[in-house]
Structure 1
Amino acid sequence: MNNLMKIIYITAITVCLLFVSCSDMNELSDRFLKKGETTYAALPDSVTVGAGKERVQFEIFITTNRVKTTRIYWNNRTDSVDIEIGNQAGVFYKTIENLPEQSYLFDLVNLDQYGNRSLLYEVSGRSLGEKYESTMINRRLVSLSANNAGNKVLVWGGMDESLDAGYTEISYTNTEDENVLMEVPLSETSTIITDLKPGSLPKYRTVYIPDEMVVDVFYTDFTNASLTYDGDFLLIKSEISIIGYSNQHDSGDNAAKHALDNNYTNRWHTRVGENFPHWMVFDIGGEVLVSRFSIWPSVFGLETGKLFDNRLPATFSLWGRNDEPPRDHLSGEEGWTQLGNYSIEERGGEQTFTIDNPIPVRYLKMSSPNGLNGTTMMVIGEFDIYSR
């Protein structure tokens, strides 16, 4: 009997506890049901922020027709602007002007026609200005020369494309007196101008594009191309052939080819025991106005204390022609037109000589009848040939 009473007692307590628990649970769920579910507007599908000059531009992709407005916050949500979407899917743009130069964190919220808001969409962007412009550098022009067709050739140094540099612009005046603006890719190592106005020079600048949206492009200042000698363009030596010479000491360190190889530290040494005259004939490869000729004394294999090799010609003359000279007429005067006579000083460094009345020639000859201080050998470091 006692056991039966215990069972009835325990069962009664359990039923009471279950009743109280169910009542509490119902009360909790009733409160949430009365409040209702939270409804969110749709988020943007994607957002891109383009960098401009003291401004940014938003490109917002919306893939639903249930967004009425997009609101953009910045400066810790103290500033904002709205974009009307109008319950349409598509791509929407918004430019925020007059933003001081710095990086920004933007929060975007979509609102639907019922006033429901989306969750935050966070994106970063940057506004550019004087600080950015101060980091831009112009591409390096290695050389400005002429080829054997009379065209002008600009050779460029490399440039790091990761620094936002997009391309190079060249501005010049052509032979019709028109201004020309050329775009040169950074991958291009040399540029040919076929119609540069005589007496003028090109200028160039580098264009910077901060990102793919191209809100604004930035430009370095123009740099004027320059020449060592006003109006005279160094001819490209790889296009010029040496077709004859008086002699050479050997075909190694003293070879005649060293007189025109762009290496100013080797030499052409004529044969020991072979006296003047010494000469060399060049095939330029095309008719050009040869306007200047330079001689560089050799600095190869100098004795201690010497600054240059003084086994130079005392005087020399330049000759030109357009028809190919016969092999037996290379050293003589027949068929050649004299361009000038010159004297050389006994000193180191470049000595340059102008041709006062240049005429178009394809073949050029340098010929010397005598040496400085009675030397019988001639030693040359390098020749440079210029044209107009």
Structure 2
Amino acid sequence: MKKYICITTTYICLLLLFSCEKMDDNYKEYVVRDGIIYPGKATSPFVAAGEKRVQVSWLRSADPKVVKAKIYWNNYTDSVDLDITPELDTIRYLIDNLEENTYTFIIKTFDAKGNVSIPVEVSGRAYGPIYKAGLFNRNIAQEKVSEDEGWVISWEMGDITRGAAFTELSFRNSKNEPMTVITPIENMATIVTDFKGGEYQYRTGYIPEIGAIDTFYTEYISRTMPPQKINKAEWVATASSDARDTQAPNGAPDKAIDDDPNTFWHSRHSPSSPGYPHWIAIDMKKEIKVEYVELTPRATYTNQSFNKFIIQGSMDGINWTDYGDFYLEPVGLKVQQFVLEENPTMQHIRIYMTQGGSVHAHLAEFSVYGSVN
């Protein structure tokens, strides 16, 4: 039994000795042949894309002897030398003036004696006019302005496949100060509460890939902000007559300014109807620069209401100025807009009705769009 154990132990020792000699041979072949010392190589290399440039970076190795590095590209025809100081944890270098293309960079590190590390390859792309030519502005799906909700822009989807990252909106606030609002591409709406109105610009920013050092922009698109719907909370409506007694719960003038198209104002119905002209007037309680008026006919009996009218404006509610003759289509609940070309400023506004399909007149909704003066 003891003899068997001795033979087995001798066999294992010989096997281990052979293996160690084999490992030494391999080590000499690939690591320390002819006594060459290999400094610590670049670790975790990364190329950050940019516009006609890239930034090459890597983590400093644990080898304290590394004092220099060299980056090669274009098949070793271009290169740059870097000094590596002890306080650096990450080495970064910006390579400019590159054509739009994908590049392979070879990084070698050196110690003070000139010994060179195993080369490390990393690839990255420089972007340029070809990429930029394929970038498009994010489209506006809908836009509205109101005193209640502010300025609301609803966006269409951005081109995330090419790196669309955000939309940049430039405008002026109520103090005429320039403002910029950034909306991430995943957000489908931009809401602004402090704005002046008038012209604005927007563009879309693209980041072509994760870690890119440059943002690419589309050209600005210039637009004019739509007029805001004036808040009706403080409005006071009056009329030449009304039918609140016979058309209840409808009939009163304020039913035309409640933002409910299912309610309506009606001229006096009984015991007698006064006939034309009829009018409904609004005291908006502040001066408004009016761009257009929006009227909505009642759902039924539209052929028995007014169709021809004049829009009038006044600062005092006594002296009125005509701003044009208009025609209202007798289509139930059809929202219709009537532009005042001169965009006059007024506090009081009146619909002065001159003709219709019967002696009566009625109206479901009366709205004003413009800006507070």
- TM-score (norm. length: structure 2): 0.65
**SS at the partner of 1:127?**
strand
Residue 281 (structure 1) aligns with: 282
Structure 1 position 134, deviation (Å): 1.7
Q: Which residue pairs with 2:213 in the alignment? A: 215
| Superposition deviation, residue 78 in structure 1 | 6.3
Q: Distance in 1 between matches of 2:298 and 2:183?
A: 37
Please state if 1:270 is matched with 2:266: yes
Alignment match of 1:321 (pick from 305, 315, 324): 315
Instruction: Give the corresponding residue for 2:362.
Output: 378
Structure 2 unmatched ranges of 5 or more: 1-6, 185-189
- In 1, are the aligned partners of 2:135 and 2:218 still within 8 Å (CA)? no
TM superposition shift of 1:344: 2.8
Residues 340-372 of structure 1 show CA distances to partners (whole Å, capped at 9, x for unaligned) of: 26433254774525375834x4x4232435441
Counterparts of 2:138 and 2:20, CA distance in 1: 75
- For residues 181-220 of structure 1, the aligned pairs below 5 Å read 182-186=179-183, 188-190=190-192, 192-194=194-196, 201-210=199-208, 215-220=213-218
Q: 1:146 to 1:202 in 2, by over 3 A?
A: farther
For residue 318 of structure 1, report the CA deviation from its aligned partner. Answer: 2.4
Q: Match of 1:312? A: 306
Match of 2:214, SS state, is coil
Q: How does 1:1-388 map to 2 (within 5 A)?
A: 38=32, 39-44=37-42, 46-62=44-60, 65-72=64-71, 81-90=79-88, 91-101=90-100, 108-113=107-112, 114-118=114-118, 120=120, 122=122, 125-129=124-128, 130-138=130-138, 140=140, 142-143=142-143, 154-158=151-155, 163-170=163-170, 182-186=179-183, 188-190=190-192, 192-194=194-196, 201-210=199-208, 215-226=213-224, 234-238=227-231, 241-246=234-239, 247=242, 249=247, 257=255, 259=257, 261=259, 268-270=264-266, 273=269, 275=273, 277-283=278-284, 286-288=286-288, 290-298=289-297, 300=299, 311-321=305-315, 336-340=318-322, 342-345=324-327, 347=329, 350=336, 352-354=338-340, 358-359=344-345, 361=346, 363-380=347-364, 382-387=366-371
Shift of 1:139: 5.7
Separation (CA, whole Å) in 2 of partners of 1:158 and 1:56: 32
Q: Which has the larger radius of gyration?
A: 1
Question: Structure 2 CA distance, aligned partners of 1:23 and 1:346?
Answer: 106
Against the structure 1 CA distance between its residues 79 and 337, is the aligned structure 2 distance closer, same or farther, given a 3 Å change threshold?
A: farther
8 Å CA contact 2:290, 2:368 repeated in 1: no
How far is 1:168 from its partner? 0.8
More strand by percentage:
2
Quote the Cα distance in structure 2 between the aligned partners of 1:365 and 1:145. Answer: 20
The aligned counterpart of 2:4 is none
| Unpaired runs of at least 5, structure 1 | 1-12, 228-232, 303-307, 323-334
CA-based RMSD of the aligned residues comes to 5.1
CA distance in structure 2 between the aligned counterparts of 1:24 and 1:292, rounded to whole angstroms: 97
Instruction: Report the alpha carbon displacement of residue 53 of structure 1 after superposing the two structures with TM.
Output: 1.7
The match for 1:305 is: none
Secondary structure of the 2:131 match is: helix
Secondary structure class of the residue paired with 2:357 = helix
Deviations 1:28-85 (A, max 9, x none): 688679779545432445444322123222244426543233344667x667634413
Q: Distance in 1 between matches of 2:358 and 2:174?
A: 50
State the Cα distance separating 1:184 from its structure 2 match.
Answer: 1.0
Q: Distance in 2 between matches of 1:141 and 1:192?
A: 21
- Decide whether aligned partners of structure 1 residues 127 and 71 sit closer, same or farther in structure 2, where only a CA change above 3 A counts: same
Counterpart in the other structure of 1:230: none
Q: 1:201 to 1:269 in 2, by over 3 A?
A: same
The amino acid of 1:52's aligned partner reads G
Say if 1:205 and 1:221, in contact at 8 Å, map to a contact too.
Answer: yes
**Letter of the structure 2 residue corresponding to residue 190 of structure 1:** V
Deviations 1:85-133 (A, max 9, x none): 34544143323345454666655443333423146365x5333233355
Residue 223 of structure 1 and its aligned partner are, at CA, apart by 1.2
Rounded Cα–Cα distance in structure 2 between residues aligned with 1:158 and 1:141: 5
Identity %: 16
